[in-house]
Amino acid sequence: MNTFTIVMIIVAVVVVAGLVALYFFGRKLQKKQEESQEQMQAAAQTVSILVIDKKKMKLKEANLPKIVLDQTPRYLRGSKVPIVKAKIGPKVMSLVCDAKIFDLIPVKKEVKAVLSGIYIMDVKGLRSNLEPKKQKQGLLKRITGSFKKDKK
């Protein structure tokens, strides 16, 4: 055997070991995520809220309680998260929203939301059905879309 095949075998073994380690690490993280999701479901309650504003903001700028910032890992404090400013009863609060339902939440309307602490897990329309806003197509999309129609 020459040195090239020995090096290739060593590289293959290291790659396989890395993939196996990532597989088990991923399963461990998935179990943790499922457990935390179950805990959030157990603590969830349905509340009627009036949505004042919604934005994607950095955690530092979102006016969240100090304990939330303290518990967030340092490398994630600068990342943008969906924030909803809402009136719950007499109180105006900043809430963190699930990214999947952020587009469904209407601004300046009242909705029924499933809350777990300051996290919005789900929303339902109070007086109407909720539909995501249709985003405007960019110029490039419109131009390429018109070419595709012409070709047919």
8 vs 14: CA distance, rounded Å: 10
pLDDT of residue 131: 65
144 vs 88: CA distance, rounded Å: 45
Which residues lie below 8 Å from residue 126, measured CB to CB, with a gap of 6+?
A: 48, 109, 110, 111, 112
pLDDT tens column, 89-147: 899 999 999 888 998 888 898 999 999 888 998 888 766 666 666 667 777 777 777 65
Confidence check: pLDDT of 149 > 60: no
Q: What is the pTM of this model?
A: 0.67
Mean pLDDT of the chain: 86
pLDDT tens column, 20-79: 999 999 999 999 999 988 998 888 899 999 999 999 998 888 888 888 888 888 888 888
pLDDT of residue 52: 93
pLDDT of residue 137: 72
Binned at pLDDT 50, 70 and 90, residue 12 comes out as very high
Which residues lie below 8 Å from residue 142, measured CB to CB, with a gap of 6+?
A: none
Q: Where are the domains of the chain?
A: 45-125
pLDDT of residue 24: 96
